[in-house]
Amino acid sequence: MDDTAPETPAAAPAPEAMPASTRLLLPVLQMMAAKAVHTAAELGLADLLAERPYSSAELAEKTGAHHGSLRRLLLALAGLGVVTQGDDDRFSLAALGQPLRRDAPDSVLGLVRLGCGPEVWRAWEHLLPSVRTGQPAWELAHGVDWLGFYADNPERAAVFHRSQAEHTRDTMPGILAAADFSRFPTVVDVGGGDGTLMAHVLSSHPGLEGVLVDLPSGLAGAAGRLAAAGVTDRCRVVGGDFFTSVPEGGDAYVLKEILHDWEDDRAVAILRTVRAAMPPDGRLVVVERVLPERAAAGPVEAHLYLRDLLMLTVTGGRERTEQEFHALFGAAGFAPARTSHPLPSGYRVVEAVPA
- Domains, the chain, ordered by start: 19-101 (1.10.10.10), 172-354 (3.40.50.150)
Query: Which of 270, 274, 247, 246 has the alpha carbon at shortest distance from 258?
Result: 270
- Is pLDDT of 82 > 50? yes
Q: Give the tens place of pLDDT for each residue, 209-253.
A: 999 999 998 898 899 999 999 999 999 999 999 999 999 999 999
What confidence score (pLDDT) does residue 6 get? 43
pLDDT average, residue stretch 327-336: 97
The single-letter code of the amino acid at 42 is E
Exposed, middle or buried, 84 (CB in 10 Å: 0-12/13-18/19+)? Answer: middle
CA distance 43 to 41: 5
Check if the beta carbon of residue 256 is closer than 8 Å to that of residue 348: no
Query: Would you call 205 a catalytic residue per the annotation?
Result: no
Q: What is the DSSP letter of 241?
A: -
Question: Which residues lie across from 209 on neighbouring strands?
Answer: 186
**Mean pLDDT calculated for residue range 275-285:** 97
Q: How many CB atoms lie within 10 A of CB 152?
A: 11
Which are the contacts of 94, defined by CB distance < 8 A and separation ≥ 6? 81, 82, 83, 84
**pLDDT at residue 4, as a whole number:** 43
Q: Per-residue DSSP letters for 167-210?
A: HHHHHHHHHHHHH-GGG-SEEEEET-TTSHHHHHHHHH-TT-EE
Q: CA-CA distance, 72 to 65, in Å (whole number)?
A: 12
Contact partners, residue 120, CB within 8 Å, separation at least 6: 114, 313, 314
Please state, in angstroms and rounded to a whole number, the distance separating the CA atoms of residues 193 and 54.
38
Give the pLDDT confidence score for residue 7 in this predicted structure: 47
Instruction: Give the per-residue pLDDT at 17.
Output: 83
Rounded to a whole number, what is the largest CA-CA distance in the chain? 88
Given a contact cutoff of 8 angstroms between Cβ atoms, the answer to whether 190 and 274 are in contact is yes
Catalytic residue among 126, 260, 303, 326: 260
Average pLDDT over the chain reads 93
pTM of the model: 0.88
3, pLDDT greater than 50:
no
* Per-residue pLDDT tens digits for 145-195: 999 999 999 999 999 999 999 999 999 999 999 999 999 999 999 999 999
| Helix locations, the chain, DSSP H | 20-43, 45-49, 56-63, 67-80, 109-115, 118-124, 127-133, 137-142, 146-152, 154-179, 196-204, 222-229, 264-277, 299-314, 322-332
Tell me what pLDDT residue 12 has.
Answer: 65
Burial status of residue 87 (CB atoms within 10 A of its CB: 0-12, 13-18, 19 or more): exposed
